[in-house]
Structure 1
Amino acid sequence: MIDEPVFVRPDLIIEPLVDRFYAWLHTVAPVQAAMNLAYAQVPLLESYLQSPQVHINASRNPELRGGFFVNIDPSRVAEVRDLLTAIKRDRAPMLDFAAAISDGEDLVRQSATGFAMTPLYPKLPAALSGLVEMAYDTNNQPSIRYMEPLVYESPVYTEDRQCVQLSLDTGVERPFILSTPRLPGPDVLELPIPFRHPGLEELCRARLEPTTLGRLREALELDDAQAAQLPRLLTDKPDLAGDRHIGDGGRIRYFGHACLVLQTPEGAVITDPWVSSDAAATGRYTYRDLPDFIDLVLITHGHQDHIVLETLLQLRGRVGTVVVPRSSRGSLADPSLALYLSRLGLPVTEVDDFSEVPFPGGTVIAAPFLGEHADLDIRAKSTYIAKFAGKTVYIGADSSGIEPGLYRYMRRQAGAVDMAFLGMECAGAPLTWLYGALLTAPVTKKMSDSRTLSGSNAAQASAILTELGAAEAYVYAMGEEDWLVGHVMATSYNEDSYQLKQVEEFMTWCSEHGVKADHLYGQHEWKW
């Protein structure tokens, strides 16, 4: 059977891990990964080991959903203790680098008082030597710039942190990715290979093209025990939807959250790809519905629910380029998306505001993205305007209408919009929920709570529609699709939730102003 043709099962999950924690931008990009390891993940494991049952009880409390509690049965305490010991031993350069960042930032705050910074360089921690530059802005505010490409080449970045776990989607919600590491299990095939490993591309291409057990074993460098687990992840025929391509006109399909697939007969674009792997489910599009080749992958920003590595890894070998917004180059809160994804084996194109990227049958224009980042100076965020098949579509992600005048200029630049897709998670998590490990100076709870990861409310969304001149408006599901986002966003709503009330208010406004509108959930299709 080793030479018989096989395909990947449609419900295959590939979970990317770093030191057993779920991999996302801030746990892989080396500067941010060091800070998260030292000031979030290590303290989290230490807290769990002190009181495992407290963590378990909190994990099961719906009111604490999304909190930082380790959801691992106390019977596995020894494994968690071994993980913590290994991290402290093997990641000492990362932990030292994180301490150096904290000390360096404190040095700049205390000693850079408007005078020349040259005397401060010898005082910087040794771990930062050659990897940073200090500077003032025109308001005389000092900061440190981290030379990311060099940090990737330093001991702080090591691919032996990386591994992947292969499993099948059972429909059961996975543990919250920001708090619970993934331990080995009998239903998981664990591969200690980096995310850029060519064997993963061979594996994922088998959704479309046949391979063999022998080829996969060689490509993934499996030993006998690993190879024995592989057949259950494979099948003898592909599961591909017959209508995954179109023959004329244009089409948009909604895959959930902020994921859209835009198609012409010649080409395809996907936004913030995040695809359900539960092939047995109904009422949603899954991997079987994706076109065979995707010309452009549009990434709007670096949050874990918009640049989903487990989906991006499954697209390796079948995308033309991943389009990402350019970062500010070296800011502690703003890692480069291009460096991150290119290191993971993906082809990348960086864009600035109003850069244009063509694809067969259309073109995409990058546009500014306001808000949603807790007022941090983060530049690696972009909305997009897609023009194809005679329509203009605004892809707004979580951008906010806090300054409506921006969208007036966007309309002048790119023309009126036919359809607008908007995010209205307008009561998002506070600053410290996602960025706490990167904050080297304390902030009060009141300050953190005032700075949230929020998209548009009803008034702001209405202002966007007015300025863009859009005839149709569609609000993304806001973490409501539990099969997709429960383990990533850990959101929960009820009929009285402020966010849903704001969506209702916006839907009413659209109805009163002759705008066709809907609040999306599950699969939707628009074809013309």
Structure 2
Amino acid sequence: MNNLQDRPHEPRFYLRADAYSEPLILNWYAWPYLLAPVSCAMHFTGRHYRLMRSFVANSHIHISASKEKSLVGGDFVNCSADQVEQVQALITQLEVDYADFFDVRKSITALNALLEKQQGHSLEKLYGDIPPNLRGYVELIYDMQHHADFRLIEGLLFEGDLYKPAAQSLAFGLLSDEGERPFVLSSPRLPDPHSLHFNTAFANPTIDRLFAARTQGLTHSELRALLAEMPAQGGLDAMALFTEAAPERRGQSRSTPMRIRYLGHAGLLIETDQLCVAIDPVIACRASGGEGGAPSFADLPDRLDYICITHTHMDHMCIETLLELRHKTGQVLVPKNSGGNIADPSMKLMLKSLGFSVQEFDEMEEITVGAMRIKAIPFLGEHADLNVRSKTAWCFTFQDFTVFCGADSSCIDPVLYERIARAVGKIDLLFLGMECVGAPMSWLYGALFTKPVARAINESRRFNGADFASAQRMIDIMRPTEVAIYAMGMEPWFKYFMGTDYDVNTHQIEQSDRLLAYCSAAGIHAERLYGSRQWDLECRATPA
């Protein structure tokens, strides 16, 4: 008798659609600037430390602010009164176990002060004056106006003691009955009755098996063995994260040579017979497939040949989503880095530290895979005028159809986009973000400065994307057949990182309404994306 045939059907357990993960570093939500060693130290000592100390000293103010829905995303800690001691413990841990973070801030401050005094003469004699903890990690340089600066040697930093995978963990929770989760950027995540924290480095391959269980499922013995590999804290029962009900997997069949699916926020998925490419994927966990039909993790294909990232901001390079997709991803394509600028950490090195295969693209560089050409396109705007080179739009040409993913482009200099249009040629579908009222520079980069930034400067240099005038200029130059506006912050399931609550009178909506009307008058089909959208395209081979 065959024992395998006689064994009853063994149930499989699937990671629930409403179970969300939060990658953490020292209990704070991991976004790209916490992966790079120096910027991580600067953000912890320049922002997180300040917020935690403020909470411990004035917890009642923070708790009161956290109850106001209109203040979501504000500069306060969303922890409870009974977590004050835990936050104090985090402060102590940072001060004692991660004292080298504070040493880095002191050293960067001292190095900046030293370089400010230089007047164009040789810097070679200054290497001995570099603070010891930075020696061997920096090169002293001048720009072409003889302003002294330094360049971080990031490859060595990722090999050194300042890169701390032991500080990484992965927390899980379940969406509320209303399908919501807490805002992620201003508060540490602490083990509580409603969460489960796995003490594991992000590069741990066990994580891949955990996230693959979204669609593949695990037997009870496989699940038990997986959980045994990762120590956990918190009151949430691990089995509560799983269900025996296999997920519904929408959109797995395709009837045309090319299909484009909107993934929500700024994310797209382009599929052909030979290739599957995701651009800036940010997938929100949804209780039942999602309001508006927004794709879930289960709706994605089993293989992503490429993930293309446009820039380092966390709503485009989302560590949470990338870790969930790592098990099915071939390679991540990223823009070329400027090389050691503290405000522009290497995306390639960050993603390699997470276990990805990564390829950098220079401006206008391209690859051809089967019938698809993928080209990196420079873009302006949304980076507060800082020297950030790690940003690119992406252009995809399949047979006779060209898709231009403009990311957060702003047509500040029309001549650049005229040159791009001549190089790219006909554009059939233009994707463009219109988040035209961005936060001031200090919101993202403030902790990297070692001197206070003047208020007028800070307010002037914002993370502004395209407004109506900018988008109109781009459309007039590129003359696309169709326009899709995305990354508008309207989708409520992304509020956990956007912190926005728009209505019809919001400036961003008013500006995009004007663009929709302008395109309609010009005979260009245009729409503002929300939730779900799919293009099924009958492409034709381009004549030789």
- Do they superpose with TM above 0.5? yes
Cα deviation per residue 1:39-83 (whole Å; 9 max; x = unaligned)?
101011011111011112223345544221001112211111111
The aligned counterpart of 1:410 is 420
In the alignment, which residue of structure 2 is the partner of 1:13?
A: 20
TM-superposed deviation, 1:450: 0.5
| CA deviations over 1:441-488 (Å, ceiling 9, x no partner) | 32211111110101111111011112112011111141111212x121
The structure-2 alpha-carbon separation of the partners of 1:66 and 1:146, relative to structure 1 and needing over 3 Å to count, comes to same
Partner of 1:213: 220
1:178 aligns with one of 171, 180, 185: 185
Q: Report the counterpart of residue 238 of structure 2 in structure 1.
A: 230
Instruction: Tell me if 1:125 matches 2:100.
Output: no
Partner in structure 2 of residue 318 of structure 1: 328
Question: Which residue, out of 63, 75, 92, partners 2:82?
Answer: 75
Task: Please point out which of 422, 426, 429 is paired with 2:432.
Answer: 422
Q: How far is 1:263 from its partner?
A: 1.1
Find the aligned partners of 2:247 and 2:274 in 1 and give their Cα distance.
22
Out of 498, 520, 525, the residue aligned to residue 511 of structure 1 is: 520
User: Per-residue displacement from partner, 1:112-145 (whole Å, max 9, x unpaired)?
Assistant: 2111112222222111111101110111111110
Query: Which residue type is aligned with residue 404 of structure 1?
Result: P
Q: What TM-score comes out, normalization by structure 2 length? A: 0.92
Where 2:218 maps in the other structure, the secondary structure is coil
The residue aligned with 1:265 is: 273
Matched, 1:193 2:200: yes
Gaps of at least 5 residues in structure 1 are none
Alpha-carbon contact 1:323-1:350 (below 8 Å) kept: yes
Asked if 1:246 is matched to 2:254, the reply is: yes
| Pairing partner for 1:44 from 9, 28, 51 | 51
Quote the Cα distance in structure 2 between the aligned partners of 1:238 and 1:22. 29
Of the three residues 451, 456, 463, the one matched with 1:446 is 456
Q: State the alpha-carbon separation in 1 of the partners of residues 301 and 399 from structure 2.
A: 17
Report the CA distance between 1:395 and its aligned residue. Answer: 0.2
Residue 497 in 1 paired to residue 512 in 2? no
Q: Which amino acid aligns with 2:509?
A: L
| Partner residue of 1:140 out of 143, 146, 151 | 146
Is 1:264–1:361's contact at 8 Å kept on the other side of the alignment?
A: no
170-179 vs 370-379, which moves further: 170-179
Residue 13 of structure 1: CA displacement? 1.4
Instruction: State the distance in 1 between where 2:533 and 2:282 align.
Output: 15
Picking from 109, 112, 119, the partner of 1:113 is 119
Match for 2:42: what amino acid? M
Change (3 A) 1:509 1:26: same
Q: Deviation of residue 157 (structure 1)?
A: 1.0
Partner Cα distance (2:375, 2:80) in 1: 48
How far, CA to CA, are the matches of 2:299 and 2:187 in structure 1? 31
Assess if the C-alpha contact under 8 Å between 1:423 and 1:476 holds in 2.
yes
CA–CA separation in structure 2 for the residues paired with 1:244 and 1:405: 42
SS of the aligned residue for 1:394 comes to: strand
AA at the equivalent of 1:503: S
Give 1:90's aligned residue: 97
Q: CA deviation at 1:249?
A: 2.0
Secondary structure of residue in 1 paired with 2:222: helix
- Whether 1:152 aligns to 2:158 is yes
Q: What is the TM-score when the length of structure 1 is the normalising length?
A: 0.95
Provide the rounded CA distance (Å) in 1 between the counterparts of 2:43 and 2:277.
33
Q: Is the 8 A contact 1:6 1:236 kept in 2?
A: yes
**Partner amino acid, structure 2, of 1:198:** P
- Asked whether the equivalents of residues 203 and 355 of structure 2 are also in contact (C-alpha less than 8 Å), the reply is yes
Moved more, 274-283 or 216-225: 216-225
Aligned length: 526
Matched, 1:379 2:389: yes
User: Does 1:168 pair with 2:174?
Assistant: yes
Match of 1:356 in 2: 366
Question: For 1:382-435, what per-residue CA distance to the aligned partner results, in whole angstroms no more than 9, with x for missing partners?
Answer: 000011253101101111111122222112212110010101111110101111
- The answer to whether the Cα contact below 8 Å between 1:162 and 1:195 also exists between their aligned partners in 2 is yes
1:496 CA displacement:
2.5
Is contact 2:334-2:359 (8 Å) kept?
yes
Is 1:526 paired with 2:525? no
Paired with 2:9 and 2:235, the residues of 1 have a C-alpha distance of 11
Deviation at 1:497, TM superposition (A): 2.0
Shift of 1:493: 2.5
Q: Distance in 1 between matches of 2:354 and 2:223?
A: 20
Distance of aligned partners of 1:46 and 1:462 in 2 relative to their CA distance in 1, 3 Å threshold:
same
Q: 1:81 to 1:481 in 2, by over 3 A?
A: same
User: Which consecutive residues of structure 2, in runs of 5 or more, have no partner in the other structure?
Assistant: 1-7, 538-544
Q: Conserved in 1, the CA contact under 8 Å of 2:408 and 2:433?
A: yes
SS of residue matched to 2:307: strand
Amino acid at match of 2:366: E
Asked if structure 1 preserves the Cα contact closer than 8 Å seen for 2:179 and 2:286, the reply is no
- Partner amino acid for 1:523? S
Alignment of 1:255 with 2:263, yes or no, is: yes
- 1:224 CA drift (Å): 9.4
Cα distance change on mapping 1:253 and 1:118 into 2, 3 Å? same
Say if 1:213 and 1:84 are closer, same or farther in 2 by CA, change over 3 A. farther
Kindly state the Cα deviation for residue 213 of structure 1 after the two structures are TM-superposed: 3.4
What are the equivalent positions in structure 2 for 1:22-37 lying under 5 Å apart? 22-37=29-44
Deviation at 1:361, TM superposition (A): 4.4
Aligned residue type for 1:229: D
Compared with structure 1, are the counterparts of its residues 163 and 371 closer, same or farther at alpha carbon in structure 2 (3 Å cutoff)?
A: same
2-structure distance, mates of 1:225, 1:290: 30
Partners of 2:157 and 2:163 within 8 A in 1: yes
Q: Does 1:469 align with 2:475?
A: no
Deviations 1:23-47 (A, max 9, x none): 0111121110000011101011011
CA-CA distance at 1:182 after TM superposition: 0.6
Alignment-mate amino acid for residue 499 of structure 2? A
Between the aligned residues of both structures, percent identity stands at 37
Q: Give deviations 1:82-117, integer Å, cap 9, x for gaps.
A: 1111111111112211221121112111x2211111
Partners of 2:155 and 2:307 lie apart in 1 by 23
Instruction: Indicate the larger mover: 202-211 or 292-301.
Output: 202-211
Structure 2 partner of 1:274? 282
User: 1:227–1:247: structure 2 CA closer, same or farther, 3 Å change rule?
Assistant: farther
Give yes or no for contact 2:76–2:186 (8 Å, CA) kept in 1.
yes
Q: CA deviation digits over 1:253-305, x for unaligned, max 9? A: 11211011111133211111111211413312211211111111010000111
The Cα RMSD (Å) is 2.0
**How far apart, CA to CA, are the structure 2 residues paired with 1:17 and 1:231?**
21
Q: Which amino acid aligns with 2:261?
A: R
Rate the CA distance shift 1:375–1:51 in 2: closer, same or farther, 3 A: same
